[in-house]
Amino acid sequence: MSVRLLDGVFSEGFETLIALVRDGRFTTELADRIRGKDGLNRAFGALYREFFPTEEPVRPIPPVDDTKNPYELPLEVQLAALWRANDEEGWGIEEEVFARLAETAPAWPKGRLAFRSFRIRFGEGDEGVARTFEAHAKRVNTVFGAKFWRWDFLLSGKHPFEGNPVDRLRLLIGNHTHKPVVEWVTFDLDANRERQSITAVRGPKSLADELFVFAWMFTDYVRDINYETNPGLFAGGYELNVPERGDDPWQYVPCVDWYRDDAEVRLSASWRSDDNSGYSVPVLRE
Protein backbone atom coordinates (compact mmCIF):
# COMPACT_ATOMS: atom_id res chain seq x y z
CA MET A 1 0.00 0.00 0.00
CA SER A 2 1.35 3.45 -0.92
CA VAL A 3 1.72 6.06 1.83
CA ARG A 4 0.48 9.57 1.13
CA LEU A 5 3.18 12.11 1.94
CA LEU A 6 0.82 15.05 1.56
CA ASP A 7 -2.93 15.38 1.51
CA GLY A 8 -4.92 16.60 -1.44
CA VAL A 9 -4.23 16.98 -5.15
CA PHE A 10 -0.42 16.87 -4.93
CA SER A 11 -0.35 13.51 -3.16
CA GLU A 12 -3.02 11.99 -5.41
CA GLY A 13 -1.29 13.28 -8.52
CA PHE A 14 2.09 11.95 -7.35
CA GLU A 15 0.64 8.49 -6.72
CA THR A 16 -1.04 8.53 -10.14
CA LEU A 17 2.26 9.48 -11.81
CA ILE A 18 4.06 6.61 -10.05
CA ALA A 19 1.38 4.17 -11.23
CA LEU A 20 1.79 5.35 -14.83
CA VAL A 21 5.59 5.22 -15.02
CA ARG A 22 5.70 1.76 -13.41
CA ASP A 23 3.39 0.38 -16.08
CA GLY A 24 5.27 -1.72 -18.63
CA ARG A 25 3.72 0.24 -21.50
CA PHE A 26 5.28 3.53 -20.35
CA THR A 27 8.43 3.90 -22.47
CA THR A 28 11.17 6.50 -22.75
CA GLU A 29 9.81 7.43 -26.18
CA LEU A 30 6.36 8.09 -24.68
CA ALA A 31 7.88 10.22 -21.94
CA ASP A 32 9.81 12.27 -24.52
CA ARG A 33 6.64 12.85 -26.55
CA ILE A 34 4.71 14.02 -23.49
CA ARG A 35 7.52 16.44 -22.63
CA GLY A 36 7.61 17.67 -26.23
CA LYS A 37 5.75 20.58 -27.76
CA ASP A 38 2.07 20.55 -26.68
CA GLY A 39 2.55 16.98 -25.40
CA LEU A 40 1.19 17.68 -21.94
CA ASN A 41 -2.00 19.23 -23.32
CA ARG A 42 -2.53 16.24 -25.62
CA ALA A 43 -1.94 13.79 -22.77
CA PHE A 44 -4.45 15.53 -20.51
CA GLY A 45 -6.90 15.75 -23.39
CA ALA A 46 -6.67 11.99 -23.95
CA LEU A 47 -7.21 11.31 -20.25
CA TYR A 48 -10.26 13.57 -20.10
CA ARG A 49 -11.77 12.01 -23.23
CA GLU A 50 -11.32 8.54 -21.72
CA PHE A 51 -12.58 9.18 -18.20
CA PHE A 52 -14.91 12.14 -18.75
CA PRO A 53 -16.42 11.60 -22.21
CA THR A 54 -18.53 14.43 -23.64
CA GLU A 55 -22.17 13.96 -24.53
CA GLU A 56 -21.25 14.37 -28.17
CA PRO A 57 -18.63 11.81 -29.27
CA VAL A 58 -15.44 13.04 -30.90
CA ARG A 59 -15.86 12.74 -34.65
CA PRO A 60 -13.20 10.68 -36.44
CA ILE A 61 -10.84 12.46 -38.83
CA PRO A 62 -12.40 12.04 -42.29
CA PRO A 63 -10.37 10.36 -45.05
CA VAL A 64 -8.71 12.78 -47.46
CA ASP A 65 -9.81 12.73 -51.11
CA ASP A 66 -8.42 15.71 -53.02
CA THR A 67 -10.87 15.17 -55.87
CA LYS A 68 -14.12 15.54 -53.92
CA ASN A 69 -15.47 17.77 -51.18
CA PRO A 70 -17.16 15.50 -48.59
CA TYR A 71 -19.18 18.47 -47.31
CA GLU A 72 -20.78 19.44 -50.62
CA LEU A 73 -24.45 20.39 -50.24
CA PRO A 74 -27.10 20.26 -52.98
CA LEU A 75 -28.56 23.59 -54.06
CA GLU A 76 -31.94 22.72 -52.53
CA VAL A 77 -30.36 22.00 -49.14
CA GLN A 78 -28.49 25.31 -49.10
CA LEU A 79 -31.58 27.30 -50.03
CA ALA A 80 -33.59 25.44 -47.38
CA ALA A 81 -30.96 26.28 -44.74
CA LEU A 82 -31.12 29.95 -45.72
CA TRP A 83 -34.94 29.88 -45.71
CA ARG A 84 -34.96 28.42 -42.22
CA ALA A 85 -32.42 30.94 -40.93
CA ASN A 86 -34.41 33.78 -42.47
CA ASP A 87 -37.61 32.54 -40.83
CA GLU A 88 -36.13 31.82 -37.38
CA GLU A 89 -33.98 34.95 -37.17
CA GLY A 90 -36.49 37.33 -38.77
CA TRP A 91 -34.05 38.66 -41.37
CA GLY A 92 -36.76 39.71 -43.81
CA ILE A 93 -35.23 38.28 -46.99
CA GLU A 94 -37.96 38.39 -49.65
CA GLU A 95 -39.14 35.40 -51.71
CA GLU A 96 -37.90 36.93 -54.96
CA VAL A 97 -34.37 36.83 -53.54
CA PHE A 98 -34.65 33.07 -53.11
CA ALA A 99 -35.93 32.77 -56.67
CA ARG A 100 -32.96 34.77 -57.95
CA LEU A 101 -30.52 32.64 -55.96
CA ALA A 102 -32.04 29.46 -57.37
CA GLU A 103 -31.55 30.75 -60.91
CA THR A 104 -28.04 32.14 -60.48
CA ALA A 105 -26.30 29.47 -58.38
CA PRO A 106 -22.76 28.81 -59.62
CA ALA A 107 -21.49 25.28 -60.08
CA TRP A 108 -19.88 23.74 -57.03
CA PRO A 109 -16.16 24.63 -57.26
CA LYS A 110 -13.51 21.96 -57.66
CA GLY A 111 -11.26 21.06 -54.74
CA ARG A 112 -11.61 19.12 -51.49
CA LEU A 113 -12.04 22.27 -49.42
CA ALA A 114 -13.67 24.49 -52.05
CA PHE A 115 -17.18 25.66 -51.14
CA ARG A 116 -20.22 27.45 -52.53
CA SER A 117 -21.94 29.58 -49.92
CA PHE A 118 -23.56 32.98 -49.37
CA ARG A 119 -22.68 36.55 -48.61
CA ILE A 120 -25.59 37.93 -46.53
CA ARG A 121 -25.20 41.53 -45.41
CA PHE A 122 -27.59 43.87 -43.62
CA GLY A 123 -27.35 47.66 -43.56
CA GLU A 124 -24.59 50.00 -44.67
CA GLY A 125 -21.32 51.33 -43.32
CA ASP A 126 -20.30 50.99 -39.68
CA GLU A 127 -23.81 50.09 -38.52
CA GLY A 128 -24.13 47.49 -41.23
CA VAL A 129 -20.80 45.83 -40.40
CA ALA A 130 -21.86 45.39 -36.77
CA ARG A 131 -25.40 44.30 -37.64
CA THR A 132 -24.18 41.70 -40.12
CA PHE A 133 -21.58 40.24 -37.78
CA GLU A 134 -23.99 39.98 -34.86
CA ALA A 135 -26.68 38.38 -37.03
CA HIS A 136 -24.39 35.57 -38.13
CA ALA A 137 -22.76 35.10 -34.72
CA LYS A 138 -26.26 34.74 -33.26
CA ARG A 139 -27.16 32.21 -35.96
CA VAL A 140 -24.06 30.14 -35.18
CA ASN A 141 -25.16 30.17 -31.55
CA THR A 142 -28.68 29.10 -32.49
CA VAL A 143 -27.45 26.20 -34.61
CA PHE A 144 -24.89 24.86 -32.11
CA GLY A 145 -26.87 25.66 -28.98
CA ALA A 146 -25.04 24.77 -25.77
CA LYS A 147 -21.98 23.77 -27.83
CA PHE A 148 -21.15 27.41 -28.57
CA TRP A 149 -18.57 29.78 -27.06
CA ARG A 150 -17.68 33.35 -27.96
CA TRP A 151 -14.66 35.27 -26.71
CA ASP A 152 -15.71 38.15 -24.47
CA PHE A 153 -13.62 40.60 -26.49
CA LEU A 154 -14.94 39.55 -29.91
CA LEU A 155 -17.17 42.61 -30.16
CA SER A 156 -18.64 44.72 -32.95
CA GLY A 157 -19.77 48.33 -33.16
CA LYS A 158 -18.68 50.72 -30.41
CA HIS A 159 -18.03 49.56 -26.84
CA PRO A 160 -16.68 51.63 -23.94
CA PHE A 161 -13.06 51.50 -22.86
CA GLU A 162 -11.78 53.77 -20.09
CA GLY A 163 -14.93 55.84 -20.36
CA ASN A 164 -14.86 56.36 -24.13
CA PRO A 165 -16.69 54.56 -26.96
CA VAL A 166 -14.23 52.58 -29.07
CA ASP A 167 -14.73 50.95 -32.47
CA ARG A 168 -14.20 47.20 -32.22
CA LEU A 169 -14.66 45.55 -35.63
CA ARG A 170 -14.05 46.76 -39.17
CA LEU A 171 -13.66 45.42 -42.68
CA LEU A 172 -10.11 45.25 -43.99
CA ILE A 173 -11.24 47.00 -47.19
CA GLY A 174 -13.18 49.66 -45.29
CA ASN A 175 -16.64 49.80 -43.74
CA HIS A 176 -17.79 52.16 -46.49
CA THR A 177 -17.84 49.14 -48.84
CA HIS A 178 -20.49 47.35 -46.76
CA LYS A 179 -23.87 47.29 -48.54
CA PRO A 180 -26.97 45.13 -48.02
CA VAL A 181 -26.80 42.09 -50.30
CA VAL A 182 -27.67 38.41 -50.55
CA GLU A 183 -25.56 36.64 -53.15
CA TRP A 184 -23.52 33.55 -53.91
CA VAL A 185 -19.80 33.30 -53.20
CA THR A 186 -17.24 30.55 -53.69
CA PHE A 187 -14.01 30.18 -51.75
CA ASP A 188 -11.14 27.89 -50.79
CA LEU A 189 -10.82 26.98 -47.11
CA ASP A 190 -7.34 25.49 -47.51
CA ALA A 191 -5.70 28.73 -48.62
CA ASN A 192 -2.73 30.38 -46.92
CA ARG A 193 -1.93 27.73 -44.35
CA GLU A 194 1.83 28.07 -44.84
CA ARG A 195 2.50 31.73 -44.09
CA GLN A 196 4.70 34.07 -42.10
CA SER A 197 1.66 35.90 -40.73
CA ILE A 198 -1.98 36.63 -41.49
CA THR A 199 -0.95 40.14 -42.50
CA ALA A 200 1.36 38.72 -45.17
CA VAL A 201 -1.39 36.81 -46.98
CA ARG A 202 -4.69 38.59 -46.45
CA GLY A 203 -6.18 41.09 -48.84
CA PRO A 204 -9.40 42.32 -50.52
CA LYS A 205 -10.59 38.76 -51.21
CA SER A 206 -10.12 37.44 -47.66
CA LEU A 207 -13.35 36.23 -46.06
CA ALA A 208 -15.01 38.40 -43.42
CA ASP A 209 -18.71 37.90 -42.56
CA GLU A 210 -18.86 35.17 -45.22
CA LEU A 211 -16.91 32.91 -42.87
CA PHE A 212 -19.59 33.11 -40.19
CA VAL A 213 -22.33 32.32 -42.71
CA PHE A 214 -20.25 29.27 -43.58
CA ALA A 215 -20.04 28.29 -39.90
CA TRP A 216 -23.82 28.05 -39.43
CA MET A 217 -24.46 26.42 -42.81
CA PHE A 218 -21.67 23.82 -42.93
CA THR A 219 -21.83 22.52 -39.38
CA ASP A 220 -20.36 19.12 -40.25
CA TYR A 221 -17.16 20.76 -41.42
CA VAL A 222 -16.93 22.83 -38.24
CA ARG A 223 -17.33 19.69 -36.11
CA ASP A 224 -14.62 17.99 -38.17
CA ILE A 225 -12.00 20.70 -37.68
CA ASN A 226 -8.87 18.83 -36.60
CA TYR A 227 -6.15 21.34 -37.58
CA GLU A 228 -4.62 18.78 -39.95
CA THR A 229 -6.83 17.82 -42.90
CA ASN A 230 -9.47 20.37 -41.84
CA PRO A 231 -8.00 23.68 -40.67
CA GLY A 232 -9.42 26.18 -38.26
CA LEU A 233 -10.46 29.35 -40.06
CA PHE A 234 -9.38 33.00 -39.85
CA ALA A 235 -11.67 35.75 -41.14
CA GLY A 236 -8.80 37.74 -42.63
CA GLY A 237 -11.24 40.26 -44.11
CA TYR A 238 -11.97 41.55 -40.61
CA GLU A 239 -9.82 43.58 -38.20
CA LEU A 240 -10.58 43.43 -34.47
CA ASN A 241 -9.64 46.07 -31.90
CA VAL A 242 -9.09 44.85 -28.31
CA PRO A 243 -7.81 47.78 -26.21
CA GLU A 244 -8.32 45.75 -23.01
CA ARG A 245 -5.26 43.71 -23.95
CA GLY A 246 -3.00 46.76 -24.07
CA ASP A 247 -1.84 46.09 -27.64
CA ASP A 248 -1.76 48.50 -30.56
CA PRO A 249 -5.22 48.90 -32.13
CA TRP A 250 -6.51 46.47 -34.76
CA GLN A 251 -4.02 43.70 -33.94
CA TYR A 252 -6.54 40.83 -33.84
CA VAL A 253 -8.27 38.69 -36.47
CA PRO A 254 -11.51 36.79 -35.71
CA CYS A 255 -11.55 33.03 -36.21
CA VAL A 256 -13.77 29.96 -36.09
CA ASP A 257 -12.41 26.83 -34.46
CA TRP A 258 -13.56 23.64 -32.78
CA TYR A 259 -12.55 22.65 -29.26
CA ARG A 260 -12.60 18.87 -29.43
CA ASP A 261 -12.37 18.19 -25.70
CA ASP A 262 -15.69 19.96 -25.11
CA ALA A 263 -17.12 19.30 -28.60
CA GLU A 264 -17.69 23.05 -28.88
CA VAL A 265 -17.56 25.64 -31.67
CA ARG A 266 -15.62 28.74 -30.68
CA LEU A 267 -15.72 32.23 -32.12
CA SER A 268 -12.43 33.72 -31.04
CA ALA A 269 -9.50 35.76 -32.37
CA SER A 270 -5.73 35.77 -32.59
CA TRP A 271 -2.97 38.21 -33.44
CA ARG A 272 -2.52 39.22 -37.06
CA SER A 273 1.04 37.85 -36.79
CA ASP A 274 -0.32 34.30 -36.36
CA ASP A 275 1.56 31.72 -38.48
CA ASN A 276 -0.10 28.52 -37.20
CA SER A 277 -0.54 26.21 -40.21
CA GLY A 278 -3.40 24.47 -38.40
CA TYR A 279 -5.48 27.48 -39.44
CA SER A 280 -6.12 28.84 -42.92
CA VAL A 281 -6.90 32.34 -44.16
CA PRO A 282 -9.59 31.58 -46.77
CA VAL A 283 -10.03 33.69 -49.89
CA LEU A 284 -12.87 34.26 -52.33
CA ARG A 285 -12.58 32.67 -55.75
CA GLU A 286 -13.10 34.64 -58.94
Kindly report the pTM of this predicted structure: 0.78
pLDDT tens readout for residues 83-136: 999 999 999 999 999 999 999 999 999 999 999 999 999 999 999 999 999 999
What percentage of the chain exceeds 90 in pLDDT?
73
Query: What is the average pLDDT score of the chain?
Result: 89
DSSP 68-97: --TT---HHHHHHHHHHHHHHHT----HHH
The ranges assigned to domains in the chain are 9-51, 75-284
Instruction: Report the length, in residues, of the chain.
Output: 286
pLDDT tens readout for residues 242-267: 999 977 899 999 999 999 999 999 99
Per-residue pLDDT, 127: 98
Q: Which one is predicted more confidently, 176 or 44? A: 176
> What is the C-alpha separation between 119 and 98, in angstroms, rounded?
13
